[in-house]
Every structure is written in C-alpha cells, then in structure tokens.
C-alpha cells in the first residue's frame, strides 16, 4: 500500500521542497504590519522569544523581542528566516488522498472517516497494538499529552513513541538514574556564574547559537572553557582546552579525568558522603583509567586529560553540558552517567554557577518527553510499568487500569516491527523517519509494507510521500500552546495566524479522530488551554509536576520552571539545591561505567569513523528549513568533512566527489577538506534525504536502556568517486538575491 | 550608543547577514557579509560591517559625490540618483565593505541601520547576533563587561584611519596594524619602523 504513488521526481515537482525567498507580496509589500505577536521560534530547544509581524492575516517578517530573558532579541539564522515557512507554496491546504494519479484533495469528513475506519479495521484484524503512533518532540506540551492519551484511550495501542527517541533519551534516562529526575539541573542564567565549563559532544555554535553568548559571558568573568569533540567546531576554536576525542570513547575520557581528580585528592568527599551513594565502586573502576591508558583509548593526549582535571579542580563553581555528541551512542546512557559521576564527585551541583545539563535539540525536546507520548511513560513522567502510576492515570482519565496498554516499542523497534509485519498501520505527526532514522533503506522498506499509513503534517515530508492519507495540519505559528525549553522553563506560544485554506490545527484533528473512534467523551476540549489545564492536573504529585502552572502565570513571569506544584509556587529554576535529589532517599546515585567500544568499530575493511550532526542553517530532517531559500543558500547540501591527511591519502582535493560506504549503504558527496576534524574521522550533516542522506550509512544499533540509535559513530570506507559525477548540490552564494521563488532543490 | 565588532566571538552563523536583509529600508538585500578567514584551517569567521570612517575614503574617491555622511557620522550608501556605478568606492575602501549591486546599478553598504538607530532601536545585526560578536550599546558598558577593549584606530602603512565603529581587541592594543608596510623601515628614518605611535605623533 505504501509504495510511492508517483515517481519521486513528480512528487517533488508538486509538493517540493521548493524554495521560498520572499514574504507574501514580495519584499516591498507596503505598509507597517497590522500587529506584532510575541511568540517563540519553532526550532531548537532554546525556544528564543521572537515577534512575528502579521499583515493581512499573513506572517510577513519578524522583529526581535528584546525583553524576553532567554535570548534578549538574539536569534540564529533559522530564527530570522523562520517566518518564510508561512505562506509557503508547498503548504498542504487540504487533506490529500493517495490515488492512482497521485495525491488528490479530499473532504475532511471523508478523510477522517477513512483514517478512523482503517484504524478500527487493522486493530480488529490484527490486535490493538498492530496500529502504531509516531509523534514528535517539536510539538506543544498540549499535543504531546493529547497524543499519549489518544493512543492509550482512543486507540488502546501500546505502540506510541516519538522522535525524541532519536534525540535526548539517553540524557533523560541517565538523569533519572542518577538524580531521580529528568531535567537540566540549572537555568541557563547559571552559566555565566561558572568558573569552569565542560562542553562535550555539543556543537553549540551551530546547534544552539544563543548559548554561545552565555558561554562568552562566563569567559568574560574569567571562566575556563573545555570542549570535547572530534571536530574543532566554532566554539571549540575558542576553548581554553580542546580534547579531540576519538568517536565512541567519551565515557573512557570522563573516567580518565575522574581518575586524575581522585588521585590528586580533588574530589568533594563531604558532598559524596552526605548526598550520594555508590561512589566506592566508581572509585575502584576509575583506578583502571590512568591518563596514559585513557589517552590510548580516546586519542586525547594524556597531558590534556590531566589539564582538564586541573582546570575543573581549580574552579569552585563549574558546569558540565552535553548534547547529542555523547548521547547518540549504543552507550549513550553510560556516557551521560560518566559525566554525572564527574559532577557528583566534585559536588558541583545545586548551587549558583554549579550544575549540569543536556542541551535539548528539538523545539520541545524537554516538554515532549514529559507528558506521556513515550512508549514507556504516562503523563507527569509516570512509569507505565508502575502499578501505582498506572492506577493514578487510569483514575484521572476515568478508565480501568487494566484497559491501559503496557509499555510499547520504541521508535526504531517500531520500524523493525513494521518491517517484520507485526505492525500493519501507522499514524505519524511531526516525524520524518525516512530522513531522521538510521539505515534509511530499511526504513523505506518498512514503509512500503504498511497496510495503511496516515500522516498529519503541514508539508509533504519525504516520509509523507508514502502515506495513504495526509491530514493537512498546522505550523507552530498557526496554533497556540506551551513548550518547555531546555532549561525547564515552560513558555507560551501564541497563535499568530490561522491555518491557511482548509488546513486545521493538529489537536483539533486528533479530537475529531477520537470522536470517530467512539471516544469523544474523553476529549472534551474546545481550546488548548483546556488541554493544558488537564495535563497540569494530571501531573499533580507526579515526578514532573506542572500543577501550579497556568497560561496567565507563564505570561506574567515570562515562563515558569517546573516543578511547580501549587498555584502560589514560584517554580524551580535550579534543581537539587542543598544536595537534595529526587530519589526517595534524597541522594544521587553514582554508576560504575566501564568503557566498551561502539557497536561497530573500525577495521581493515571499513577503516574510518563516520559521525553525523547539524549545520547552523538547517533543522532536523529539514522538512521546514529545506524550504526556506536563504537558509538553503547558506549551506546548500551535505559535504564530507575530512582532514587534509586523509584527503591526501585518498587522493582527494577539496570539492571533489567521494563515495562513503558502510555495511548498510553508501552515498556520494563532495569533500570538504578541513584541518578541523580528526584524521581518522569523517563528518556528514544529516538534514538531507535520499541520495544525500547521511542515514544511508549510519547504524541502527541501539542503546540497551534508552533505545537511542548510534548515529554518532559507525565504520565506513571512503574512496574518490570515479568516474567523476555531477555534484549533487546547487551552490548559490548568499548575496541577498537568491534564486527565483519556487526554484527546486534536490 | 556605539557599534562594536569582536571577530573572535563570531561563530559564522550568518544570523547578522540574514537579519540585515530584513531591514525595512533594504529588504531582501544584506549589507553585511561574513568572511571565512580560512575554512580549510579554522572555522574562524568574521562579520564585515561598514566601519563608518571619520574621513571616509569611499566618499573621497566617489566621482559623483554620491556618498554622504549624516551629522552623526554614519556613512550612507551611494545616493541612487548620483551613483554612476563606477565601483571606485569598492576598490578604495580599506575595509572591503561597499558592494556594487549590478541589478540596481548602485553601491550599497551597511548604514548602521539608520532607519532603526535614528528611531532609538539597535541595528538589526547587532540585535540578533547570538554570540556577541556584534554589539550596539554604550562604551562604558562594553568596557566593563568584557576583557577586550574597543579600538577605532587602524594603521594602513602610513595612513591612520579612525572610525565610528570599534573593534574589540586585547586590552593592551591601542591601534591595529593592518599593513606590513607599517613594520618596514621608514624611508625618512631607515632605522625605525612605522609603528602607530610614531605615525600618530
């Protein structure tokens, strides 16, 4: 059923991605805007405040929102140009139905009935769990809550998961294991107070540009910056100490630094004794990681390992921050826990300028993982396998506990189940797995096996091309609700314009589907605030407590940090003050981390590490940003970063085409020869689909705890492509005059 | 309020260039550009804005007298009715700022967001810059806030250029040598190099 209805080129011709360069009416459409709407960027986990200019009920530009405390008007290029996604020619304006002639517009009533009918049919034929839901961590808290409730109550399927499974779940799992709570421990305003900062596995300058300002402010105050990364990124360039770690060796490096701290007596034994458990075993483990051995494993000079320990020890206040670079591994949770060991051993948490946190990559990476759209979780961060938690939510929702499904499959496992025929039907929203999952060939094969596939999206993503029905959903600026940014601040998105044409806000579509499934009584919402109030009540007394938050409170305070358990509670910007952690005994947990190699290490056949990541002008699978002309011009397509030593060895010059092969697939791209990457490693950004997809070669192997795939390291071989092929990218220098509106990129 | 540039903080994101193109007076065209120092060796980039020279070379060499300075010292783009598109300004500017735009047959360049700054707003690029590489505010504030110090004196050989925009440099730098000729013996005094202090004296 889910083979492409038309050749891909024809689908691209009809639905894009095309490039939008100008606001509606062109650059010089006259007059001031009708209104400015204070809202937030639709991209990464910083969730910068921004004002969207609206004229004639269309978004026509932006104005910085300098009063919003997180970014004070600052924006990255994606934030600046995000308004160009509105009024985009690719926008899906009505439900689309797959026919033999391609996709055709279809009335809403018929589309919704068709989707609900297929849900019922598949569940009746194959069982409840044969229909799955995949949702996204860029969605509002309201939608995240709604999707979880829809899956468990309206559909009764265990199989709902979200694309945060490809993002921060290793950090979330590690946080919960060590601290008993999954949230960054500090507000970002603590960063400038630190005297030493370790940033590991995070290309801050390109992935979270606003945070560079926080780091610079810390350095203005004299802080030392240590950056750990296989690539010299823009922030690594400025570091006091740069540790160019070999991919997949992060936990060994942290053990090595802790070894030096222990050996020199630079740990905080009083804090360890009073506020933690399990240090004795860690102490024994790190004895086996002296600098020289650590250097041999990690590729980082022994002297640099010692220097990192010295810089960390000299500081009284320090912060450790990480992102996907250490989390996207089959031992992502272990990497995270090894970082936390370092923080706990030195007692650097729960004080101003002392803390720890992951930097969330998706727009609602934090809130998206809190309200029950994960396969193992119920609202408020409750555990779906905990009988008490199940009963609490069953009672709250007014259903029998026995009716609630048990834990389902995670995102990658879910595609494995589609591929092996266990799951027959799928509804996805805000998720583009064909680009974002590893081993894209397997993902496509799985999609082609689905009996029925429905999608809620505002644009035709690469995955949506395989759908039977596409329900025309909404962009962020067309809806309202809340998101929770990377520091745990719940903020308010305001509707700027209504969805165009016959498109509808996503939550309303879900409610309509629930009604058609005979469960409308459980979804009695008429506005997003109704959903928010319910999710807050649902979280009362839970690990993630929003019960004291309201829209009005968020507006008044420019955001509220959870936990906020009562209306008169001010919220909690800094966690674990006084060394009180969220485990029942109030103590944090050390974990023994013994280094083990990545799932696929290099060998004679595939002798190079490949790692993947972002560029500053693109966001995730590019469904939105690959449609915005000025952002595409800034970095038109993926390139293979390699060191000159490797390039010389391969006989490749800058710009020449190379073939990258792994055990799963291959791709052919131009080389970008730079001295800013380890000679044994190549880097490819992952935002592009098809022949340009880095995920043609990445590894589906999963972390055993978080089930996150190992995007950040696999083994490849690289050869100069012969005969030369035509470059796959169209390079348009950014000069303010882009290509014509509607020019195609592929 | 003054404008300060700190290339050492630039992360190459191009938010400045993308935002510049959103200014109402020149929407769709960016008047700031970003340069890679050498991408093969480093991710170091630098944003290039007009430095708004006190005695602007671009205006001096303009045969059509098309480049004007405001009373506040902001050097403007070439006046459309006067600009003859000769690119003398492009060639003459010591900072490489003016751009001749063939589609408009006109030189355009950063005017420090005159439309915004004259209305009490900050320039668009300095407002959005996420890394603090571009800053618009009081000299007292930035001096207090940062370890680097502002300088607006540039030495091109024997010529000293002072500007309205300042670069942030290490604290003991009073002027920036940007021409190797400054380090060569002087014809008048072969025993001495033309260091900035000598030139200024």
Q: ipTM of the predicted structure?
A: 0.93
Tell me the shortest Cα–Cα distance from B197 to chain A, in angstroms. 29
For residue A624, pLDDT beyond 50: yes
| Token pair listed for A368 | 């998206």
Confidence of residue A731 (pLDDT cuts 50, 70, 90): very low
Tell me the shortest Cα–Cα distance from B126 to chain A, in angstroms. 8
Question: What's the rounded mean pLDDT across residues A521-529?
Answer: 98
Comparison of pLDDT for A740 and B119, the residue scoring more = B119
Confidence of residue A444 (pLDDT cuts 50, 70, 90): very high
Interchain contact B37–A (C-beta under 8 A): no
Contacts of B103 in chain A (CB under 8 A): 737
Report the predicted TM-score, pTM, of the whole model to 2 decimal places: 0.94
Question: What's the rounded mean pLDDT across residues A306-325?
Answer: 98
User: Which percentage of chain A shows pLDDT scores above 70?
Assistant: 97
Angle, CA of A243, A615 and A210, to the nearest 5°: 80
Question: What's the rounded mean pLDDT across residues A501-510?
Answer: 98
Determine, for residues A630 and B9 on separate chains, whether the beta-carbon distance falls below 8 Å: no
Contacts of A79 in chain B (CB under 8 A): 15, 128
Tell me the shortest Cα–Cα distance from A1 to chain B, in angstroms. 43
Distance from the Cα of residue B161 to its chain's centroid: 11
3-state secondary structure of A727: coil
Point out the residue among A27, A76, A232 whose CB comes nearest to the CB of B130.
A76
Dmax over CA atoms of chain B, in Å, equals 54
| Closest alpha carbon within chain B to A33 | B24
Question: What's the rounded mean pLDDT across residues A553-581?
Answer: 98
Q: Which of A631, A636, A638, A637 is nearest to A612 (CA)?
A: A638
For residue A738, pLDDT beyond 80: no
Contacts of A219 in chain B (CB under 8 A): 147
Tell me the shortest Cα–Cα distance from B87 to chain A, in angstroms. 17
User: Which percentage of chain B shows pLDDT scores above 90?
Assistant: 70
pLDDT digits (tens, 9 = 90+) for A358-397: 999 999 999 999 999 999 999 999 999 999 999 999 999 9
Comparison of pLDDT for B158 and A44, the residue scoring more = A44
Point out the residue among B30, B39, B132 whose CB comes nearest to the CB of A736.
B30
pLDDT digits (tens, 9 = 90+) for A256-310: 999 999 999 999 999 999 999 999 999 999 999 999 999 999 999 999 999 999 9
From residue A441, alpha-carbon distances to A447, A568, A694, A728 in Å are: 10, 53, 11, 19
Confidence of residue B186 (pLDDT cuts 50, 70, 90): low
Q: Which of A165, A253, A162, A168 is nearest to A202 (CA)?
A: A168
Which has the minimum average pLDDT: A181-190, A259-268, B99-108? B99-108
Question: What's the rounded mean pLDDT across residues A715-741?
Answer: 62
Confidence of residue B175 (pLDDT cuts 50, 70, 90): confident
Q: Considering chain B, what is the average pLDDT of its residues?
A: 89
Q: Which of B116, B64, B119 is nearest to B89 (CA)?
A: B64
Per-residue pLDDT, B197: 47
Interchain contact B145–A (C-beta under 8 A): yes
| E-state strands within A106-215 | 131-135, 160-162, 196-200
Confidence of residue A742 (pLDDT cuts 50, 70, 90): very low
Per-residue pLDDT, B39: 85
Determine, for residues B22 and A737 on separate chains, whether the beta-carbon distance falls below 8 Å: no
For residue A740, pLDDT beyond 50: no
């Amino acid at each position: 059923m889910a083979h492409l209805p038309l050749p891909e080129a024809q689908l691209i011709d009809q639905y894009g991605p095309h490039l939008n360069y100008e606001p509606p009416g062109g650059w010089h459409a006259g007059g001031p805007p009708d209104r400015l709407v204070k809202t937030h960027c639709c991209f990464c986990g910083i969730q910068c405040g921004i004002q969207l200019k609206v004229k004639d009920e269309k978004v026509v530009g932006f104005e910085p929102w300098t009063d919003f405390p997180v970014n004070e008007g600052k924006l990255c290029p994606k934030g600046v140009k995000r308004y160009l996604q509105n009024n985009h020619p690719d926008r899906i304006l009505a439900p689309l139905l797959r026919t033999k002639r391609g996709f055709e517009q279809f009335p809403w009533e018929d589309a919704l009935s068709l989707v609900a009918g297929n849900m019922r049919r598949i569940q009746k034929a194959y069982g409840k769990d044969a229909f799955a839901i995949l949702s996204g961590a860029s969605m509002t808290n309201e939608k995240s809550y709604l999707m979880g409730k829809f899956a468990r109550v309206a559909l009764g399927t265990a199989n709902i998961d979200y694309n945060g499974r490809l993002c921060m779940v290793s950090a979330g799992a590690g946080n919960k294991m060590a601290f008993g709570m999954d949230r960054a421990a500090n507000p970002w305003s603590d960063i400038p107070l630190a005297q030493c900062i370790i940033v590991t596995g995070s290309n801050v300058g390109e992935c979270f540009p606003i945070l560079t300002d926080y780091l610079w402010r810390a350095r203005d105050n004299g802080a030392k910056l240590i950056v750990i990364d296989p690539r010299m990124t823009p922030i690594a360039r400025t570091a006091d100490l740069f540790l160019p770690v070999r991919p997949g060796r992060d936990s060994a490096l942290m053990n090595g630094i802790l070894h030096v701290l222990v050996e020199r007596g630079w740990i905080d034994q009083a804090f360890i004794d009073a506020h933690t458990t399990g240090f004795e075993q860690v102490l024994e483990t790190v004895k086996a990681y002296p600098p020289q051995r650590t250097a041999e494993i990690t590729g980082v000079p022994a002297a640099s390992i010692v220097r990192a320990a010295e810089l960390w020890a000299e500081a009284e206040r320090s912060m450790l921050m990480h992102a996907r670079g250490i989390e996207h591994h089959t031992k992502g949770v272990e990497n995270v826990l090894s970082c936390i060991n370092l923080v706990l051993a030195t007692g650097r948490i729960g004080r101003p300028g002392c803390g720890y946190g992951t930097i969330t990559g998706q727009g609602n990476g934090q809130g998206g993982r809190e309200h029950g759209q994960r396969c193992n979780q119920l609202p408020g961060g409750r555990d779906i396998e905990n009988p008490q938690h199940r009963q609490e939510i069953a009672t709250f929702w007014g259903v029998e506990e026995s009716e609630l499904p048990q834990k389902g499959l995670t995102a990658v496992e879910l595609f494995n189940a589609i591929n092996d025929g266990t799951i027959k039907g799928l509804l996805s929203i805000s998720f583009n797995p064909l680009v974002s999952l590893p081993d894209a060939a397997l993902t496509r094969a799985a999609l082609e096996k689905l009996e029925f596939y429905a999608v809620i999206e505002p644009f035709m993503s690469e995955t949506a091309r395989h759908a039977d029905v596409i329900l025309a959903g909404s962009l962020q600026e067309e809806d309202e609700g809340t998101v929770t940014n990377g520091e745990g601040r719940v903020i308010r998105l305001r509707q700027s314009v209504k969805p165009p044409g016959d498109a509808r806000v996503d939550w309303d579509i879900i409610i309509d589907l629930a009604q058609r499934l005979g469960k409308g009584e459980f979804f009695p919402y008429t506005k997003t605030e109704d959903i928010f109030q319910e999710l807050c009540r649902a979280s009362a007394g839970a690990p993630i407590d929003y019960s004291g938050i309201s829209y009005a409170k968020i507006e008044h305070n420019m955001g509220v940090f959870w936990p906020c358990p009562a209306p008169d509670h001010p919220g909690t910007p800094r966690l674990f003050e006084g060394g009180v952690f969220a485990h029942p005994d109030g103590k944090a947990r050390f974990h023994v981390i013994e280094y083990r190699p990545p799932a696929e290490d290099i060998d004679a056949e595939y002798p190079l590490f490949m790692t993947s990541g972002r560029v500053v002008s693109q966001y995730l699978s590019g469904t939105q940003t690959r449609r915005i002309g000025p952002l595409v011009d800034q970095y038109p397509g993926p390139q293979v970063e390699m060191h000159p030593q490797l390039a010389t060895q391969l006989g490749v010059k800058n710009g020449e085409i190379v073939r990258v092969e792994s055990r799963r697939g291959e791709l052919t791209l131009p080389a970008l020869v730079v001295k800013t990457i380890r000679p044994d490693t190549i880097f490819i950004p992952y935002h592009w689909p098809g022949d340009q997809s880095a995920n043609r070669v990445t590894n589906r192997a999963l972390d055993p705890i978080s089930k996150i795939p190992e995007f950040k390291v696999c083994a490849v071989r690289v050869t100069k492509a012969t005969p030369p092929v035509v470059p796959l990218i169209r390079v348009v220098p950014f000069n303010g005059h882009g290509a014509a509106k509607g020019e195609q990129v592929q | 309020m003054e404008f300060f540039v700190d290339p050492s903080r630039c992360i190459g994101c191009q938010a400045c260039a993308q935002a510049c193109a959103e200014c109402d007076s020149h929407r769709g065209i960016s008047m700031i550009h970003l340069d890679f120092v050498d991408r093969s060796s480093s991710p170091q980039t630098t944003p290039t804005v007009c430095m708004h020279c006190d005695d602007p070379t671009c205006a001096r060499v303009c045969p059509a007298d098309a480049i004007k300075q405001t009373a506040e010292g902001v050097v403007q783009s070439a006046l459309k009715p006067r600009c003859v598109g000769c690119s003398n300004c492009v060639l003459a500017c010591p900072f490489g700022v003016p751009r001749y735009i063939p589609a408009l047959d006109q030189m355009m360049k950063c005017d420090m967001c005159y439309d915004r700054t004259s209305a009490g707003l900050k320039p668009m690029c300095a407002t959005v810059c996420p890394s603090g590489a571009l800053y618009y505010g009081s000299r007292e504030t930035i001096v207090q806030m940062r370890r680097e110090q502002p300088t607006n004196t540039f030495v091109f050989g024997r010529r000293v250029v002072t500007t309205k925009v300042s670069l942030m440099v290490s604290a003991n730098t009073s002027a920036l040598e940007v021409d190797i000729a400054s380090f060569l013996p002087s014809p008048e005094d072969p025993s001495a190099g033309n260091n900035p202090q000598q030139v200024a004296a």
